[in-house]
Amino acid sequence: MVRLINEIVSGEESDFDEQGNPTSHFELYIRSMEEVGADTWAIFNFIENDCNVDLLKPGVREFVTYNFALAQFGSLEEVAAVFFYGREHLIPEIFSSILRVLEKQKKICPTKIFTFDRPGLL
């Protein structure tokens, strides 16, 4: 069980970038957001202020608060259900939709495309 948990954590928190360099998923997402001109200020402001949820917009605040509470107080079954179904099932569908839009708009964003279309994700 310990090995399984460690492999899941490692696989979810780290990867390789499009040049094959080790990196975190967070760094990949930030780079890909910057590549398409998305504003990352709110993310860094949240982190720099000790993850103060009061700084977040209402919809984001509820989502983050729910996830923090789940991580701290959820049962093993609740955490597994949200993680495996809620994230692993839905996120590939969301990423596929975004990739179609990027392709249609002929956006040049190799990091974003790599981040969303890396092996094993979709």
pLDDT of 22 > 60? The answer is yes
Average pLDDT over residues 32-37: 84
pLDDT band at 56 (very low <50, low <70, confident <90, very high): very high
Q: What percent of the chain is modeled with pLDDT above 70?
A: 88
The domain containing residue 38 runs over which residues? 2-117
Alpha-carbon distances, residue 91 vs 1, 3, 21, 52, 111 (angstroms): 25, 25, 24, 25, 17
pLDDT interval class at 119 (50, 70, 90): low
Task: Tell me how many domains the chain contains.
Answer: 1
- Would 122 be classed as within a structural domain? no
Please say if the pLDDT value at position 91 is more than 80: no
Whether the per-residue pLDDT at 3 is higher than 60: the answer is yes
